[in-house]
Chain A
Amino acid sequence: MNQDAPNRPDPDALLAEAKRQGRGRLRVYLGMAPGVGKTYEMLTAGKRREKEGVDVVVGVVETHGRKDTEAMIAGLEVLPRQPIEYRGRQLMEFDLDGALARRPKLLLVDEYAHTNAPGSRHPKRWQDVEELLEAGIDVWTTLNVQHLESLVDVVWKITGVRVRETVPDSALSAANEIEVVDITPDELRERLNAGKVYVPETARVAATNFFKPENLTALREMALRRAAQTVDDQMVDAMRRQGIEGPWAAGERILVLIAGDGMSSALVRAGRRLADLMNAPWTVANVERPNRPNRDPQAARRVAEALKLAEQLGGASVVLTGDDLPDAVLAFAGRNNVTQIVVGKSRDSRWRILTGRSLANALLRRSGGAALHFVTAGAPEERTAPVETAPRRRPHWWRGYAAALVLVALANGAAFVLDAYSTGADLAMIFLASVLGAGLAYGLRPALAAAGLAIVTYNYLFLEPRFTLVIGHATDVFTFAIFIAVAGATGWLSGRVRDQAQLSAQRASAVTALLAASRRLSAASTQDETAQALAEQASAAAGGRAVVLLPKGEDLVQAAGAPTTVLLTTGALAAARWAWEKGEPAGAGTGTLPQVGWTFRPLVGVRGRAGVAGVEVGDTAGADEERLVSAMLDQGAVALERAELAAATVENEALRRSDKLRAALLNSISHDLRTPLATVMGSATTLIDYGKTLKPEVRGDLLISIREEAERLNRYVGDLLDMTRLEGGALKTRSEWTDVRDVLAAAVGRVSRRLESRKLTRDFPHELSAVETDPGLLEQAIVNILENAIAYSPDGSAIDVAAYEDRGNVVISIEDEGPGIPQSDIERIFEKFRRLEEPSDRTPRGDRNKGAGLGLSIAKGFVEAMGGRIAAASPLVAGRGTRILISLPKATPTHRLLL
């Protein structure tokens, strides 16, 4: 290690150190058994700290009614406990969120190995402590050595008590300090007899057994040794950090092989103990055979649990694949310089040992340099959980065997009919056919059963002498031997073929499902669509309900569900939030909130977490479904990210366009206001400075231009004010009986001077109903439309103004002979600043008479404010001309007449 640079600190060690900074510090008061005074010791030290001015809070302490302990708590701040309902009882549990909110410098949390009430965030208290440390709070806690995961087996062997509340060894290794609280076994027994040790009434007999002097001595040794080992580890760590060449064992690497039988977890614990002794890294491996369907769900569960246990105990876990078990193991061992291999020597593999086919033997023959450790099976520990051990067989597993029986019976019948016409060898073929059929239809085992049955019945019924299993003729012996061989081989082969076909079919359906999911995901364009597609596909793959939750601001909300009506419980939501915040799976099958019945996985894409997906845990979910779901979720995360990016792009584009429009708007207002002003000022100053030298007609022209530009400016300012009134909601409309013809005449009068040589025709009927409207606003609207018509039509063309009645409305029509408006733009001519977006080649050069493009927009606003409607039609004739129609409801004269 570090041979090229002997004094350089080990980067791994530095990394681990960096990770520890900012974390709270953990101190564990370690004892050999209950009653040694751990809690008392912790409280004493805590009180000392408090006197020194440290912010110390008691998170949870079990006094068990002991007076001296209770006295110690007095004076310290105690966090209130949180009530948790469980099966009708109220359990008072440690309040993790309360502690996190209170954020003391130092928190005292008794009983590190405590199991939390179901419904708490974490199943175990050491996980609560982990979260507290993560939040930067220092924690002191207490622990008895028998609760250490790797010592459970040893403790059981010594004391006969199997400890249920355990703490993974890594949780103790994480401690910055370990303080051993030690008294002699004799002293402890005295205290027990004096009633100073809390023991529940029901466990008094067990306790007396447990507190035997030899047990206590053994436990004491374990506690002291474990503490010493931690000190040793810390020293080695420190040396590695500082780059000191260490005395640690060089290059030992341990591989633990597990097979899913009852000893898996015992093997893992043995591996951990060996690793501790050697101070070596260790890995737990399971070998999967790709060509064999995993038939035993219980074994799969055991493997998964053992691998998880390995990680809890601080080891690595790996799943190897390969048809040849020893080959796969030795290849891995060779690659990873494994020096120690731990294997189980289970009691039920005697047949395999006899045939030399056991893994242990194969390894023994071929293991090369590695040392082999055999662990023999102890107690059948896994049998202790009866609910879980009931094997989940496939439904109707017996069907194959029944079918085999029927097929062989049919073969017998056929053989009986044909018996009269043919020889024994032909009959054998019929039996072979039945074996083949059983294999193809129901797989390996029914095929082998059929083969066995066929062999027996064939011999018994059709080989001379009949109705015995004895074979008479020598030739028949030969025939029968071949028959046995062929029947066996046929059964085996056809069974394998069928099993493999089924397996490939399963994989093909998984691939198909993935493909379908990927297709649906890529078809979805918005985030919500993507989330819905993902939920539906995940639900289909897992065979249960599924949800997708996406972040919305600070919160995490359900964006999709399959079915869409899925409603998550508060507990499930909490698990989802946890998965989101920590980036780790939560809920069923994990260490966090496992009771909720849903498994939530963070959706991690390329740029980070995109959301959380939850799948309801069904009865049928197996490893294959699990893999499929997880592959799907990976795709989903990327798809969600893509949708989010797309949405952001659209939003940016809209923002950019609105920015551009605002800049154009400002530019336009600035230009339209300033140009007339510049003309007025320039003409005026020209007259002032050079008035005397100018010709009279030039002087007159300048004066006219001043008046025209002032008028133009006035119109523009009027437009802007009208627009502001409309937009600001300050527009007040009067309502009076109005003759539209009067208003039209006034409007025409106002624009007449600007008509130049355009011909304006009027077409009003003699009788026209009145409308109830605001004549001032209507006049302005009409003036705006007329000015627009003038601005957009060539000099000398005609402008037609008409008014008529149509279905209860009075309609005003204004037509020009201008260039017309393309059909695609007709909807938009009433938009504000419409002129801005016109291509410049449609704007006649130098003609700024058009105003800012507010006119029609204001006309529309006014007409609609008066309860009327406005519309445009163009082109009218030969691609030219625009017609604007204003329609106002006729006044109802009734109440007027009554007045």
Chain B
Amino acid sequence: MSAHKPRILVIDDEPQIHRFLGPALEAAGYEPVRADTAADGLAAIANRPPDAVVLDLGLPDLDGTQALIRARAFYEGPIIILSARDMEMEKIEALDLGADDYVEKPFHVGELLARLRVAMRHALNRAGAPALIHAGDIEIDLVKRLISRGGEPVRLSPREYDLLAHLAAGGGKVLTHRQLLTAVWGPANVEDVQYLRVFVGHLRQKLEADPANPRYVVTEPGVGYRFMAD
């Protein structure tokens, strides 16, 4: 991490949110930047790109997904979405449109900060993807296409490997059903969520100590999956 404090832009129209998020971010070693509208936020990103963006989807001046599309046009850094639990579709749409992760309101500050860390680490890794990924006793070698668990090689079918490699390359980031299906099965199969269920089941059988309570391949209900690397 560079010497300067990472700048986190918070775009939210609720003053109360800024009131506690500002001190919290500061205390965690970040430099918070406040924006109350989508327009202010986009201007702030354009002026001086922050290290990460926290974007509330319920903004008064612009639909949250629209704000996201505009931001993604010139900003590649991590974007974390703040959304309500009942706005499922909005959330998935935002992820598909390029948001890195989401946090549901109301949230623990610790959870938001953890998501922010994962997203920023992932953004750093994006340039040179790591060859080796570790998760507990699992080791994934993306160059040699080898998987081992506790030193023992694990045999995966090509599809299973593709799926695991995509999840692992996400580095703890949630991947939507649509993103995974498009990447592994191709764009024609984006609706076939049941494939995904079956193959995730296979992966858990082969990788998890207790497939019924998975630690590594974690379900985000209704949204997608994430791989919990170390």
Contact = CB atoms under 8 A, between A and B. Distances in A.
B55 to A, nearest CB: 15
Interface in B67-96: 84, 86-87
Contact of B14 (A670, A679, A686): A679
B20 A702 contact: yes
A674 B84 contact: yes
Contact of A843 (B16, B60, B105): B60
A686 B32 CA distance: 14
A678 B107 contact: yes
B27 interface: yes
A514 interface: no
A195 B28 CA distance: 121
A327 interface: no
Contact of A682 (B24, B84, B86): B24
Contacts of A843: 60
Interface residues of A, number: 29
B136 interface: no
Interface in B34-74: 36-37, 58, 60-61
A190 B16 CA distance: 115
A678 B18 CA distance: 11
Contacts of B58: 671
Contact of B19 (A674, A683, A689, A693): A683
A686 B24 contact: yes
Nearest to B18: A846
A329 interface: no
A694 B24 CA distance: 8
A382 interface: no
A675 interface: yes
B13 interface: yes
A690 B23 contact: yes
A174 interface: no
Contacts of A674: 84, 105-106
Contacts, number: 84
Contact of A679 (B13, B17, B60, B86): B17
B23 A680 contact: no
B21 interface: yes
Contacts of A689: 24, 27, 109-110
B102 to A, nearest CB: 14
Contacts of B14: 675, 678-679, 846, 848
A675 to B, nearest CB: 5
Given A677-B105, A846-B13, A682 B21 contact: yes
A848 B23 CA distance: 21
A705 B16 CA distance: 7
Contacts of B37: 845
Nearest to A712: B16
A684 to B, nearest CB: 9
A549 to B, nearest CB: 48
B10 to A, nearest CB: 11
A701 interface: yes
A376 interface: no
Contacts of B13: 845-846
Q: Which of B19, B58, B110 has the most CB of A within 10 A?
A: B19
A106 to B, nearest CB: 53
Nearest to A701: B19
Interface of A: 666, 670-671, 674-683, 685-686, 689-690, 693-694, 698, 701-702, 705, 709, 840, 843, 845-846, 848
23 contacts: A670-B87, A671-B58, A671-B84, A677-B106, A678-B16, A678-B105, A679-B14, A681-B108, A682-B20, A682-B109, A685-B24, A685-B109, A685-B110, A686-B20, A686-B27, A686-B109, A689-B110, A705-B19, A709-B16, A840-B60, A843-B60, A846-B15, A848-B14
Given A676-B16, A680-B106, A845-B36, 12 more contacts: A666-B86, A670-B87, A675-B17, A679-B16, A682-B24, A685-B109, A686-B20, A686-B27, A689-B110, A698-B23, A843-B60, A845-B13
